[in-house]
Structure 1
Amino acid sequence: MRVSYQWLNEYVNLEGVSPEELAEQLTRGGIEVDLVELRDRGVNKVVVGHVKSVEPHPDADRLRVCTVDAGQGELLNIVCGAPNVAAGQKVPVALPGARLPGGIKIKRSKLRGVPSEGMICSAQELGLPEKLLPKEQQDGILVLSQGTEVGEDAKKLLGLDDVVLELDLTPNRSDCLSMWGIAYEVGALLDREVRLPQPAERRLEGKGKSVAIVLDAEEDCPLYAAQVVDGIRLGPSPQWMQNRLLAAGVRPINNVVDITNYVMLEYGQPLHAFDYHQVENGEIVVRRATAGETVTTLDGVTRACDHETLLITDGTKPIGIAGVMGGENSEVTEETTTLLIESAYFAPESVRRTTRRLGLRSEASARFEKGVDPERILPALQRAVELMEELASGKVASAVTGEQMGEIDDVTVDLRHSRLIGVLGVQVDEQAVTDIFRRLRFPTEVKEGIYRVQVPSRRPDISIEVDLIEEVARLYGYDRIPTTLPWGQQSPGSLTPEQRLRRTIRHTLRDVGFHEVVNYSLTSPDALRSLEQVIHPKARPVRISMPMSDERKLLRTSLVPQLLETAEYNIHRREEGVSLFEMGRVYLTEEKKLTQQPEERWMLAGLTTGALTSKHWQGKAEVPDFFSLKGELELLFQRLGLTGIRYEAVQPEGYHPGRTARMKLEDRVIGLIGQIHPQTAEAHDLEDVFVFELDLLPVMEAVLGEMLQYRPLPKYPATTRDLALVVDADVPADRLQDLIHATGGEWLRSVTLFDVFTGGRIGNGKKSVAYSLSYQAEDRTLTDEEVNEVHQAVISTLEKELGATLRQ
């Protein structure tokens, strides 16, 4: 919002308060001022001149020699190159010694041998915003009204002696999108009287024109008023009005449009003027658009509407988009003599929806979508009609016609004095608080430490107690509120057990070379069909009712398919190998049609493919396999303190047969590890791909349900024995290890598999497995006899239970 200092001074006496001081006061009061702009930009000694004659330059085709009366007692000879200069014009003249924007100094000179005693100025040379000027004023010299006085200070005439304050308003302060709102704010800050214009209703004398209003969308437009003005003469608005519009950043167009814009800036109430003769039977119907209905707006663009677009119609055709822009078919033109002026309240949410969908914003919509003051609807209309009579030769041709659905509710908010002191942390006496509400013009009653405050409709941002506390704080002065340290009982922040567990998982996988990725929770049906859901086989994918695209139709039930897509993306960009993991939620339900929310389950998945190390002169690059990935997972289990994990061979769809296993914890399936089927990998342009996926719920229950047990470092040495056994090829290694642990007793510390051999002298259907067993006691050094006795018991149990024999 750009605020003219001179215009504001009409409403609040700013004597003794400079624009810079006013900007400081506003900023301290919570209305930030971004810029204090001097409109003259250094202009001085520029006056109004009257061009007496224009003659061709004797030595230049594009130059003219002008005789100008600038009120200096003698005529000036000025050489001018503007094509539009003509005798009889009133123009701004920079006298010798004048200064213009950009540090330009005017002095007497000769142009092609002809003396020139000054310069006839264009709008651009005076520093006027060229983009806001009419087309005819953008090229050539600036032509002034014939009613201006010769010798008058052009800077004052054009409003260049003004200062503009540019406000950076927060969305809740819609009241400050008007000069009235700023006047109330400044009056409260300075504790000065606010003087506002009070237009009287222009009453109709005799028979008038008919106006009928029908509100078919009362939720979106609960209040609508209109009045007809006849005898309109279109033309330029007076210079003072143009100056104020330019200062506010609004382009002057003609007296009718300028009046509606002026009142909008003054009252904060957008208005619109329709050509009355283009409104069928003088009827206004406010309704929602039908699907596919179109409106050609004032900018010449035909816009398609939906059922949520609010339209202004004449009962047969749309003549405007409510709160946004008028229609081209009811535009005010040079032939227009009768106006229907609209002043209405449109629901902010309705205007916001329309501007967002159409991508169309205007000064009017910026105010409607934040909320206008319903009590200014009629005063703004009366003010516009008053100015139409004064500046456009208009005459009232109808009474004010209005339609209102419901009453405007009064807003009353209670403020406890104790609550005010508690929030601000400073003692503010009761008299000071009531005085602040008086300055804000909030009627207030005080009873037993409670302020009952009646909030004016111009302040929709105030609805609860803390809003009033903020008003008191900013007018009392934020700088008067002392800085204090927080006090009270404090507790240090920490991670929850689940957060610590997830952090341990992340750190461990990063330590072994994995990179974390984050994929969308939404995926495609093709991605879900590519791999069978092994961990949660009964889970059904949840379909999104309004998907953004075909690739994002379903909620994922597994993390692996998207890891494959991510790996493919990286390999296609010349990554030799990738190791990725993701920890995120999947969405599980067994219902075909949802009757309740799906379960959100935390899962962990990892993938490795390609070269793990680069090729070097000592050997080939390392590539992943099932056992390297299994080792990295077992390191993770070790850091989590998770024991008892068992692996069972499975052959699910989409995975390599013979190289895939499911992981179980106490007979509960918690995950899957294995190689992706070569056909599936080839479909993603990948070579050997190894993945794992873990359900973190049972992992968390197992890890968080038990305290980690630590034991001291051993004081006595350990004794190792190697054990090479021949067993049937179908005997799982973990079955052997379970028996060894069960028989080894308390002295058996570790069992490590270090060799597996088949073929040769071992025989068909057999395999050789070799373990290293470590024995150790906590209270003494074990003797060979004690170790041999336990070791022999282990061998005997393996022979008896599994038919194992010692390898010879």
Structure 2
Amino acid sequence: MLVSYEWLSQYVDLEGISPEDIAEELNRTGIEVEVIYTRDAGVSGVVVGEVLSVEKHPEADRLNVCMVNVGKGQMLQIVCGASNVAAGQRVPVALVGAKLPGGMKIKKANLRGVESNGMICSAKELGFPDKVLMKEQTEGILVLGPDAPVGEDIKNYLGMNDQVIELQLTPNRSDCLGMIGVAYEVSAIFDRELRLPDVYIQSVDEEESPVSITLESEEDCPFYAAQVVHDLKIGPSPQWMQNRLISAGIRPINNIVDITNYVMIETGQPLHAFDYDQIPGGRIVVRRARPGEQLVTLDGVTRECDEEMLLITDGDQPLAIAGIMGGESSEVTAQTTSVLIEAAFFDPAVVRKGSRKLGLRSEASNRFEKGVDPERIIPALARAVQLLQQFAGGKVGSDLYAEKIGDVDDVVISLRHERLVKVLGIKIKEEEVLDIFRRLHFPTQLREGIYDVQVPTRRPDLTMEVDLIEEVARLYGYDRIPTTLPWGQQLPGGLTREQKLRRVIRHTLRNLGMNEVLTYSLTSPEAGKKIEPLHRTARPIALAMPMSNEHAVLRTSLLPQLIETAAYNIKHGNNRVTIFEMGKTYVTEEENLTTLPEERWELAGLLTGEAEPTIWKQTPIPAGDFYIVKGMLEALFTRLGVSGVQYSEAFPDGFHPGRTAELSVNGEVIGLLGQLHPKLAKKYGLEDPVVFQLDLAKLFSAANDEVVYQPIPRYPAVTRDLALVVDEDVLAQEVEEGIREVAGELLESVTLFDVFTGAQIGEGKKSIAYSLVYRAKDRTLTDEEVQEVHQRVVDYLEDILGAKLR
């Protein structure tokens, strides 16, 4: 919203108040001021002149020699190249020594033997932007009105000294989309008298022109008013009105259109003028558009409408798209002598949808989208009729007709003084609160500490008690509210168990050389089919209105997007990728959702490429080696206090058969670890990637938060190696469990350090080697004690598992 300081001073006494003061106070009270600027782009020494005569230049066909009266009896000879210069015109004349925008300075000149003492200026040369100029004003010199006083400073005549305050309004403050609404705000802030123009409704005594209004779509247009004005004379509007419209960023066109725009900016209520002679019988029907219905709008474009758009019609043919733009068929032209002025309330949602579909936004639609004041519809229409009489010679041709569905209920909100004091934290007196409501022009009654405040219809943003508290606070002054420390019992913050464990996981995996990534919770329907999720029966959940096909469903697994992330990095030259993500997956078994899906935290990781050698000449180790990843997970389990994790063969979709393990604790599956299927890896350009995914809820239930400390051993340990030949189908875990069971409490640890197969071992056989550490807590073990226990282990393995010592 562009607010003219000169225009605003018509409604509020601004003596002693500068535009900067207004901007500062508006910012303090919640309305952001973007910038303050003057319309003067750097003009000085330019006055209004009268062209007395025009003669062709003797030496140049395109130049004219003009005699110009610039006031005070001074006549100047000026050479002008504009084709539209003519005797009798009032024009802007830059005198010798004048300055124009861009640093131009006017000097005496000799143009092909003829002396020129100044310059007749165009609108662009005075710094007018193109958007506020009509086509004829962009070509040639600027022709002023015949009433322009000769010799007057052009800045005074064109209002170029006016300062404009640009407001950045939030959607809830639609009341400030009109000068009167801003005047209410400034009047309240500075406690100055509000001076609104006198408006009265006019009627006709003689036979009037017919007007009939039919609201077929009552919910879209509950209020429509119209009045006819005859005997209009089309011409330019007064210069002061043009100046104010230009300050508001609107191009002056003619007195009829300018008056409707002027009243819109003044009141915030958009109006539209139809050529009355183009409306058969003065009939107005407001209805939804029919499928395929078309209308040529004022910009000359044929618009196709649909059933969601609202039209103003003559009962048959459309005349305008309601709240957005009028049609060419009923446009006000130079031949127009009678108009039907419209003022209405249109449903903001309908106007907004129509404007978006058509890609057409206007000053009117901007106001209708946010909602206009229903109590200002009739006054705005009456104001426009008065101005048409005053500046277009109009004569009222009908009574003011209005069709209204229902009445606007008074909104009365109760505000408790006790609640106000508690929320603001200040001791404010009841008299001060009443005075604030007086300044806001809110009728208020006080009864036993409760204010009954009648909210005017111009403030639809006020609907509840806290809204009134905010109004009091911003008028009282946020800067006057003292800063205080919070009081009351303050509890220290802390992390939940799950948050702590997730933090431990992040730190552990980072320390192990992995990088954390974050991906979208939304993915494509195809991504979920590439690899089997932990919850195999989970169905993808489709969005009702996805932004794109790549973000159309909620993910059921973290792995598909980790694979895409790894592929992206590999393509961009990162040959080693070790990444993990902790995030939510969305699980449901319903095809059509009736309840919200279950949100489950999962951990997933991917490793591929070659690891950096730790010593020189070392052969690079694949980062995606299955056993390296298994070791990283075991380190994580140890850090979390998870024990008894068992690995068993698994064959899920998307994984390499024979190189995939299912992880379980106490018989419950907590995750998967394995190599991606070669076909899937090849598709994404990954070399033997190993991935894992864990259900964090199940992992956390198996975690042991207690940290157990043990003293450093006082007695030495005895280490014995044990190499065995067993059948290939014997599990190493089964051998280890047997060793621990037989050795008893003297066995401190068992470590598998070698597995070997080959011809020298025998077909169907494998060699496995363990390192066994024996230690007693209360004494030093003798060789005889260690040998006895160790022999029991050997005997057990030979008898039960059929193992043979190597």
What band does the TM-score fall into relative to the shorter chain? over 0.9
Per the alignment, do residues 167 and 543 of structure 1 end up closer, same or farther by CA in structure 2, a change over 3 Å counting? closer
Q: Counterpart amino acid of 1:314?
A: D
Shift of 1:467: 1.8
Aligned twin of 2:37: 37
Shift of 1:669: 1.4
Which shows bigger deviation, 407-416 or 417-426? 417-426
Shift of 1:770: 0.9
User: How many residues end up aligned between the 2 structures?
Assistant: 805
Shift of 1:720: 2.0
What is the rounded CA distance, in whole Å, between the counterparts of 1:426 and 1:554 in structure 2? 51
SS at structure 1 position matched to 2:674: strand
Q: TM-score, normalised by structure 1?
A: 0.94
Per the alignment, do residues 291 and 557 of structure 1 end up closer, same or farther by CA in structure 2, a change over 3 Å counting? farther
* Cα offsets for 1:357-386 (capped at 9, x unmatched): 333221112211222111000000111111
Q: Counterpart amino acid of 1:73?
A: G
**Counterpart contact for 1:218–1:405, Cα < 8 Å:** yes
* Cα offsets for 1:233-268 (capped at 9, x unmatched): 322211111011011111111111111110001001
Aligned twin of 2:507: 507
What is the rounded CA distance, in whole Å, between the counterparts of 1:39 and 1:553 in structure 2? 50
Per the alignment, do residues 246 and 762 of structure 1 end up closer, same or farther by CA in structure 2, a change over 3 Å counting? same
Equivalence map 1:207-606=2 (5 Å):
207-533=207-533, 535-606=534-605
Equivalence map 1:636-647=2 (5 Å):
636-647=636-647
Which shows bigger deviation, 290-299 or 449-458? 290-299
Per the alignment, do residues 220 and 769 of structure 1 end up closer, same or farther by CA in structure 2, a change over 3 Å counting? same
Aligned twin of 2:728: 729
Give unmatched runs, 5+ long, in structure 2: none
Q: Counterpart amino acid of 1:124?
A: K
Aligned twin of 1:24: 24
Q: Counterpart amino acid of 1:730?
A: D
SS at structure 1 position matched to 2:259: helix
Shift of 1:111: 4.1
What is the rounded CA distance, in whole Å, between the counterparts of 2:427 and 2:186 in structure 1? 25
Aligned twin of 1:717: 716
What is the rounded CA distance, in whole Å, between the counterparts of 2:37 and 2:560 in structure 1? 60
Shift of 1:194: 0.8
What is the rounded CA distance, in whole Å, between the counterparts of 2:748 and 2:281 in structure 1? 101
SS at structure 2 position matched to 1:125: helix
SS at structure 1 position matched to 2:126: coil
What is the rounded CA distance, in whole Å, between the counterparts of 1:743 and 1:285 in structure 2? 98
Per the alignment, do residues 450 and 307 of structure 1 end up closer, same or farther by CA in structure 2, a change over 3 Å counting? same
Which shows bigger deviation, 334-343 or 641-650? 334-343
What is the rounded CA distance, in whole Å, between the counterparts of 2:593 and 2:701 in structure 1? 28
* Cα offsets for 1:492-519 (capped at 9, x unmatched): 3333222222222233333333333333
Work out whether 1:618 is the aligned partner of 2:631: no
Equivalence map 1:161-240=2 (5 Å):
161-240=161-240
**Counterpart contact for 2:34–2:168, Cα < 8 Å:** yes
Work out whether 1:155 is the aligned partner of 2:155: yes
What is the rounded CA distance, in whole Å, between the counterparts of 1:468 and 1:223 in structure 2? 28
What is the rounded CA distance, in whole Å, between the counterparts of 1:552 and 1:672 in structure 2? 26
Q: TM-score, normalised by structure 2?
A: 0.94
SS at structure 1 position matched to 2:35: strand
Work out whether 1:707 is the aligned partner of 2:668: no
**Counterpart contact for 2:524–2:552, Cα < 8 Å:** yes
What is the rounded CA distance, in whole Å, between the counterparts of 2:211 and 2:615 in structure 1? 91
| Alignment RMSD (CA, Å) | 2.6
Which shows bigger deviation, 601-610 or 245-254? 601-610
Work out whether 1:54 is the aligned partner of 2:54: yes
Which shows bigger deviation, 366-375 or 43-52? 43-52
What is the rounded CA distance, in whole Å, between the counterparts of 1:652 and 1:573 in structure 2? 30
Shift of 1:107: 4.9
What is the rounded CA distance, in whole Å, between the counterparts of 2:287 and 2:743 in structure 1? 87
SS at structure 2 position matched to 1:40: coil
**Counterpart contact for 1:756–1:770, Cα < 8 Å:** yes
Work out whether 1:773 is the aligned partner of 2:777: no
Q: Counterpart amino acid of 2:656?
A: H
* Cα offsets for 1:70-118 (capped at 9, x unmatched): 2222422223233322211111223345444445554555444433333
Aligned twin of 1:755: 754
What is the rounded CA distance, in whole Å, between the counterparts of 1:275 and 1:714 in structure 2? 104
Which shows bigger deviation, 261-270 or 30-39? 30-39
**Counterpart contact for 1:280–1:316, Cα < 8 Å:** no
What is the rounded CA distance, in whole Å, between the counterparts of 2:777 and 2:315 in structure 1? 98
**Counterpart contact for 2:641–2:705, Cα < 8 Å:** no
SS at structure 2 position matched to 1:657: strand
What is the rounded CA distance, in whole Å, between the counterparts of 2:576 and 2:702 in structure 1? 34
Per the alignment, do residues 288 and 738 of structure 1 end up closer, same or farther by CA in structure 2, a change over 3 Å counting? farther
**Counterpart contact for 1:662–1:672, Cα < 8 Å:** yes
SS at structure 2 position matched to 1:237: coil
* Cα offsets for 1:585-629 (capped at 9, x unmatched): 333333344443332222222222232338997254322322122
**Counterpart contact for 2:47–2:152, Cα < 8 Å:** yes
Q: Counterpart amino acid of 1:513?
A: G
Shift of 1:40: 3.2
Shift of 1:29: 3.1
SS at structure 2 position matched to 1:143: coil
What is the rounded CA distance, in whole Å, between the counterparts of 2:692 and 2:766 in structure 1? 27
What is the rounded CA distance, in whole Å, between the counterparts of 2:385 and 2:570 in structure 1? 72
SS at structure 2 position matched to 1:604: strand
Per the alignment, do residues 522 and 16 of structure 1 end up closer, same or farther by CA in structure 2, a change over 3 Å counting? closer
Which shows bigger deviation, 788-797 or 597-606? 788-797
Shift of 1:485: 2.8
* Cα offsets for 1:386-441 (capped at 9, x unmatched): 11222222222222221112221211112222222222222221111111111111
SS at structure 1 position matched to 2:22: helix
What is the rounded CA distance, in whole Å, between the counterparts of 1:397 and 1:358 in structure 2? 35
Give unmatched runs, 5+ long, in structure 1: none
Aligned twin of 1:143: 143
Shift of 1:19: 2.8
Which shows bigger deviation, 524-533 or 393-402? 524-533
SS at structure 2 position matched to 1:369: helix
SS at structure 1 position matched to 2:320: strand
Aligned twin of 1:794: 793
Q: Counterpart amino acid of 1:330?
A: S
What is the rounded CA distance, in whole Å, between the counterparts of 2:304 and 2:790 in structure 1? 88
What is the rounded CA distance, in whole Å, between the counterparts of 1:315 and 1:328 in structure 2? 17
* Cα offsets for 1:690-714 (capped at 9, x unmatched): 22222222102212x6534333443
Per the alignment, do residues 758 and 36 of structure 1 end up closer, same or farther by CA in structure 2, a change over 3 Å counting? closer
Shift of 1:769: 1.1
Q: Counterpart amino acid of 2:264?
A: M
Aligned twin of 2:739: 740
Q: Counterpart amino acid of 2:71?
A: G
What is the rounded CA distance, in whole Å, between the counterparts of 1:559 and 1:155 in structure 2? 67
Aligned twin of 1:88: 88
Aligned twin of 2:670: 670
**Counterpart contact for 1:280–1:315, Cα < 8 Å:** no
Which shows bigger deviation, 677-686 or 623-632? 677-686
What is the rounded CA distance, in whole Å, between the counterparts of 1:290 and 1:781 in structure 2? 100
Per the alignment, do residues 49 and 532 of structure 1 end up closer, same or farther by CA in structure 2, a change over 3 Å counting? closer
What is the rounded CA distance, in whole Å, between the counterparts of 1:304 and 1:798 in structure 2? 87
Per the alignment, do residues 526 and 152 of structure 1 end up closer, same or farther by CA in structure 2, a change over 3 Å counting? closer
What is the rounded CA distance, in whole Å, between the counterparts of 1:554 and 1:102 in structure 2? 57
What is the rounded CA distance, in whole Å, between the counterparts of 2:91 and 2:510 in structure 1? 77
What is the rounded CA distance, in whole Å, between the counterparts of 1:594 and 1:690 in structure 2? 34
Shift of 1:445: 1.0
What is the rounded CA distance, in whole Å, between the counterparts of 2:278 and 2:615 in structure 1? 85
